[in-house]
Amino acid sequence: MKDMIKRYVYDVTRRLPENQREEVGKELLANINDMLPENPSEEDIKKVLVELGEPRILATSYRQKPRYLISPEWMDDYFQTLKIVMIVFGVIALISGLIENILNPEAVNVIGIIFEVFFKTISEIVQSLFSAFAIVTLIFAGISAHQSKNEKCEWDPKNLPELPKENVKKISKVESIVGLTFSIIFGTLFIYFMWRNQVYIGWFENGDFEHVVIPFFNADVLKTFIPFYIISVVLTIVESGLKLKSGHWNVSIATIHTVEQILSIIVLFFFATTTNLVNPTFWAEAAAYTEITAEQFSEGFSKGIYGFAWFVAVMGSIDILSTWFKTLKPNRKEIK
């Protein structure tokens, strides 16, 4: 009968770290003996062990440090963010996969092309979903690890947060994490493609998108904007991080958001007014196939992108004013 108790204690303690096993084993054995009557029968022992529960589950309650990749308090936000990111990644993979595989099929007949486009697109969607899952999981795992690390530090009442102001505008964790995720992913990809001088817009030969005759942008001029774009991405990441930490709009977040918006508008105006941004040979080639001259193409593009810059400037100004309004002015709906 005692052998059953020893086996139970062993099955619990073997799942624990070495430095806990002896102490937990003694404590558990004492608890079992306290629960048993004098001269217990085998049925009494079984009843007590069943009451204590499965060793695997009981060991979890004794473990000083719970084992999880993402802490429970972040799990709801994790699933919400994961769904949003996976949907966006899936849609992007679907659209890009269809375009790429339809324009560049390897099969020679219609049935072969249909099967090729279908299976290649599905494969790209699956790969994209796995990438989204990995990226979001790593970000949340990092947040959980950082939180756990801070919890190990000796607590000091001086570290208590300030009481939040009444009627402040809240920021959801999902909004912050989605912003952080997309800033990192698309910011890194855009910088990488600009630096690698990867051509996606240009004059292509015979519809073959692998052989570029004339690129649309002047690569050397385009690269001069990379440092400004990096600064903008960094500011966006910092803003998302502060939103995640604070949970509501405040002056610091609004200031960073304002700086990022103003920087983006200024860079866009420089972009719109740069004379050598577009390869002049591209306009000459386009003019050869139409009745419009290269100068007219260039002038029309300049006016269009300049008008777009003004549109972005107006929308950005409205966004800045809205940000400061919700930062400094209480939410009237919450005032009783």
| 170 strand-pairing partners | 248
Q: Is residue 31 part of a domain?
A: yes
CA angle at 126 for the pair 123 and 128, rounded to the nearest 5°: 110
Query: In this structure, what are the phi and psi dihedrals at residue 169, rounded to the nearest 5 degrees?
Result: -80, 115
Same domain, 134 and 270: no
Same domain, 174 and 266: yes
Domain finish residue from 148, 180, 200: 148
Q: Is residue 127 part of a domain?
A: yes
Same domain, 55 and 81: no
CA atoms 256, 262, 267, 272: torsion sign: positive
Same domain, 45 and 102: no
Q: Is residue 159 part of a domain?
A: no
CA atoms 231, 236, 240, 243: torsion sign: positive
Q: Is residue 255 part of a domain?
A: yes
Residues 6 or more apart whose Cβ sits within 8 Å of residue 97: 120, 121, 124, 125
Task: Write the DSSP string, 9-69.
Answer: HHHHHTTS-HHHHHHHHHHHHHHHHHHSPSS--HHHHHHHHHHH--HHHHHHHH-SS---S
Domain residue limits at 330: 167-336
What does the pLDDT look like over 219-240, one tens digit per residue?
778 778 888 888 888 888 888 8
Q: Is residue 154 part of a domain?
A: no
For 278, counting Cβ atoms within 10 Å of its Cβ (0-12 exposed, 13-18 middle, 19+ buried), the class is buried
Element (H, E) at 325: helix 294-328
Same domain, 194 and 314: yes
Same domain, 171 and 263: yes
What does the pLDDT look like over 36-75, one tens digit per residue?
888 888 888 888 888 888 888 888 777 755 667 777 777 8
What are the pLDDT tens digits along the chain (336 aa)? 567 888 888 888 888 888 888 888 888 888 888 888 888 888 888 888 888 888 888 887 777 556 677 777 778 778 878 887 888 788 778 877 777 777 676 766 667 777 877 888 888 889 988 988 998 888 888 877 776 555 555 545 555 455 555 566 777 777 777 777 777 777 776 777 677 655 556 666 655 445 556 777 777 787 788 888 888 888 888 888 788 777 778 888 889 889 988 988 998 888 888 877 777 777 777 777 777 787 888 888 888 888 999 999 999 999 999 888 888 875 544 434
Same domain, 56 and 78: no
Greatest CA separation for the chain:
106
**Angle at which helices 294-328 and 280-288 pack, to 10 degrees?**
120
Domain finish residue from 117, 148, 179: 148
Same domain, 125 and 54: no
The token pair that represents 146 in the structure block: 């950082």
Residue 73, SS3 per DSSP: helix
**What pTM value is reported for the model?**
0.51
Same domain, 221 and 89: no
Same domain, 192 and 303: yes
The token pair that represents 37 in the structure block: 């009557």
Residue 284 and residue 294 in contact, taking contact as beta carbons nearer than 8 Å: yes
Q: Is residue 158 part of a domain?
A: no
Overall number of domains in the chain: 3
**Angle at which helices 226-246 and 251-273 pack, to 10 degrees?**
160
| 214 strand-pairing partners | 203
Same domain, 215 and 335: yes
Same domain, 122 and 22: no
Q: Is residue 8 part of a domain?
A: yes
